[in-house]
Amino acid sequence: MLKSLDLRPFRGTALLGALPRPSIGTADPTGSVREILSRVKNEGDSALYDLTKRFDNVTLDHLQVGKDEMEAAFGRIDNALREALLAAKYSVVRVHEEELKLLAEHELIDNFGMRITYKTQPVDRAGCYVPGGVARYPSSVIMTASIAKVAGVREVVLCVPPQPDGTVDDATLAAAHICEVDYVFSIGGAQAIGAMAYGTESVPKVDVIVGPGNVYVSIAKREVSQVVGVPSSFAGPSEVVVVADESVPPKWSALDIAVQAEHGPNGLAWFITWNEEYAKAVEEELESYLDEASRKDHIASTLSTQGYSALVRNRDQAIEVANLIAPEHLELLYHDAGQDLDKVTNAGAVFVGPYGTAAYGDYVAGPSHVLPTYSTARFASVLGVSDFRKRMHFIEVTRDAVDQISWAAEEIAGAEGLEAHSDSIRVRRSEGELDEA
Ligand X SMILES: N[C@H](CO)Cc1c[nH]c[nH+]1
Q: Which residues are annotated as a binding site for NAD(+)?
A: 129, 191, 214
Judged by CB, which is closer to ligand X: 140, or 186?
140
| Closest approach of ligand NAD to the CB of residue 381, in Å | 12
Question: Which CB, 262 or 320, lies closer to ligand X?
Answer: 262
Separation of alpha carbons 96 and 383, rounded Å: 10
CB of 78 to ligand NAD, least distance (A): 23
Residue choice 188, 231, 307, 361 for contact with ligand NAD (CB under 6 A): 188
Nearest approach, Cβ of residue 47 and ligand NAD (Å): 12
Q: Would you list which residues are annotated within the binding site?
A: 129, 191, 214, 238, 260, 263, 329, 362, 416, 421
CB of 324 to Zn ion, least distance (A): 23
Q: Which one among 214, 317, 381, 422 touches ligand NAD, defined by CB under 6 A?
A: 214
Q: How far apart are CA 430 and CA 437, in angstroms?
A: 20
The annotation places the binding site for substrate at 238, 260, 263, 329, 362, 416, 421
- The bridge status of strand 125-129 relative to strand 155-159 is parallel
Positions that interact with Zn ion (CB under 5 A): 362
Of the listed pieces 314-322, 363-371, 413-421, 425-433, which binds ligand NAD according to CB under 6 A? Answer: 363-371
Determine phi and psi for 41, rounding to 5 degrees. -60, -40
Catalytic residue among 283, 285, 328, 331: 328
**29-68 positions binding ligand NAD, by CB under 6 A:** 32, 55-56
Residue 189 engages ligand NAD in binding (rule: CB under 6 A): yes
The one catalytic residue in 177, 329, 331, 369 is 329
Least distance to ligand NAD, CB of residue 216, Å: 4
Of 303-342, binders to ligand NAD (CB under 6 A) are 328
Residues 122-151 that bind ligand X (CB under 6 A): 137, 139-140
Query: Which residue among 149, 263, 315, 329 contacts ligand NAD (CB under 6 A)?
Result: 263
Taking CB under 6 A as the rule, does residue 24 contact ligand NAD?
no
Residue from the set 245, 328, 331, 387 that interacts with ligand X by CB under 6 A: 328
Which span (6-14, 172-180, 213-221, 246-254) binds ligand NAD, by CB under 6 A?
213-221
Whether 145 and 176 have beta carbons less than 8 Å apart is answered as: yes
Residue ranges of the binding site for Zn(2+): 260, 263, 362, 421
Q: Which of residues 404-423 bind ligand NAD (CB under 6 A)?
A: none
Can you name the residues that pair with 272 across neighbouring β-strands?
243, 310
For ligand X, which residue of 260, 305, 323, 376 counts as binding (CB under 6 A)?
260
Cβ-based nearer residue to ligand X, 212 or 265: 212
Catalytic residue check, 328: yes
Number of residues counted as binding ligand NAD (CB under 6 A): 30
Tell me the per-residue interface mask from 160 to 199 with ligand X, x by CB under 6 A, - otherwise: ----------------------------------------
Q: Which of 382, 251, 270, 247 is nearest to 22 (CA)?
A: 270
* Three-class DSSP labels, the chain: CCEEEECCCCCHHHHHHHCCCCCCCCCCCHHHHHHHHHHHHHHCHHHHHHHHHHHHCCCCCCCEECHHHHHHHHHHCCHHHHHHHHHHHHHHHHHHHHHHHHCCCEEEEEECCEEEEEEEEECCEEEEECCCCCCCCHHHHHHHHHHHHHHCCCEEEEECCCCCCCCCCHHHHHHHHHCCCCEEECCCHHHHHHHHHHCCCCCCCCCEEECCCCHHHHHHHHHHHHCCECCCCECCCCEEEEECCCCCCHHHHHHHHHHHHCCCCCCEEEEEECCHHHHHHHHHHHHHHHHHCCCHHHHHHHHHHHEEEEECCCHHHHHHHHHHHCCCEEEECCCCHHHHHHHCCCCCEEEECCCCCHHHHHHCCCCCCCCCECCHHHCCCCCCHHHHEEEEEEEEECHHHHHHHHHHHHHHHHHHCCHHHHHHHHHHHHCCCCCCC
List the one residue out of 181, 211, 175 whose CA is nearest residue 89. Answer: 175
Residues with active-site annotation = 328-329
Residue ranges that bind ligand NAD, judged by CB under 6 A: 32, 55-56, 131-135, 140, 161, 188-190, 212-214, 216-217, 235-238, 263-264, 267, 328, 369-371, 373
Contacts to ligand X by CB under 6 A: 137, 139-140, 212, 238, 260, 263, 328, 362, 369, 371
